[in-house]
Structure 1
């Protein structure tokens, strides 16, 4: 007879999985992917090392699941902010400002999500969420061009340039942004640059 999990065993399984995911989120925020070894994950979650593989086929699969959760939460926050604004300039401003302030408030997590070298499985997840931000920017630019708010341009190309500029300015090797610096001047500078780049001006 095939084994069928009871409601109790299923609840326990889900609880263990959530503990592992929560432990992984904590370790990523503290030390990035390098800190999230299987033994460290099991120890932080309070489970046996071998039990990790009862929930995830590999460490990479676990980290990809964590990436989906954390990156999805960040993307949702930016999407909500963008959708609360009207007009291309205000939507782009919301995108850049919310993304930047959230990244600067948790620099280690931002580095983990955006730039830290990762396994190909996690890199696939990263690309999925980069496309989400790109879609937001492209939609705003295209709508602005259609409404006459922005000059004619390739919305897809402009969106890629905006997203790339934000990431490079915040986390690139030449970024002047420091963890202890007041983020406001940096965020305003990045925002102004992006708005001017698409022809929206900016103050």
Structure 2
């Protein structure tokens, strides 16, 4: 076999390997969204992805490794969505309201996945990945608050502390009740989300809700 032929075969195999990895990640995410991290088993992921268990372990040598990747992938998507609005047009208060409202609305749509990403008891490796998620989301809010202070929309304040409080309010005030089903109707969930966003805005010194 010529060197050129071998190179072509390797190049062809790489996209297939990447596609299979993406398929596995998608299947794992969907399974976590249904049953949470604890009950998402490797056999179930392999079945959902349509791959052999050995193939799954070749890409992800343990459940913890796979679930850390699920957290990283899904949380980055959520951070990117919030950042997109944070960097858009409007006043700092408007952008803070828009980005925090978007987070809340996405959590309402994916209640089980939101709970898994935030509150479900997990292994230390997964918890470390979730902490990175919290920090990334907090940095989005830090940017808006800093801009609001510079434009004099918000009073001078500890930006990191304020952003951390917003993340905590969104995570604990919304996702916790969602997971416990204490908010039983869509209207109650929407009202809770609106109340939390309003609290976050008041917390940084905005009069807008």
TM (norm. structure 2) is 0.87
Determine helix, strand or coil for the equivalent of 2:186: coil
Question: Which structure has greater helix proportion?
Answer: 2
Please show how residues 34-183 of structure 1 align to structure 2 within 5 Å: 34-172=38-176, 178=183, 180-182=185-187, 183=189
Shift of the 172–160 alpha-carbon distance from structure 1 to 2, 3 Å rule, reads same
Q: Which runs of 4+ in 1 moved over 4 A?
A: 173-177
Deviations 1:39-87 (A, max 9, x none): 1111111222122121112111111111111111111111111211332
Quote how far apart the aligned CAs of 1:98 are.
Answer: 0.5
Contact 2:38–2:122 (Cα < 8 Å) also in 1: no
Determine helix, strand or coil for the equivalent of 1:138: helix
Quote how far apart the aligned CAs of 1:173 are.
Answer: 5.5
Q: 2:193 aligns with which of 184, 187, 200?
A: 187
The 1-side partners of 2:197 and 2:134 are apart by 18
Task: Name structure 2 gaps, 5 residues minimum.
Answer: 1-5
Aligned partner of 1:13 in structure 2 is 17
The 1-side partners of 2:55 and 2:196 are apart by 45
The 2-side partners of 1:176 and 1:157 are apart by 29
Report the aligned-residue RMSD: 2.2
More divergent stretch after superposition (97-106 vs 86-95): 86-95
Task: Name structure 1 gaps, 5 residues minimum.
Answer: none
Deviations 1:18-47 (A, max 9, x none): 221121011011111123211111111122
Aligned partner of 2:3 in structure 1 is none
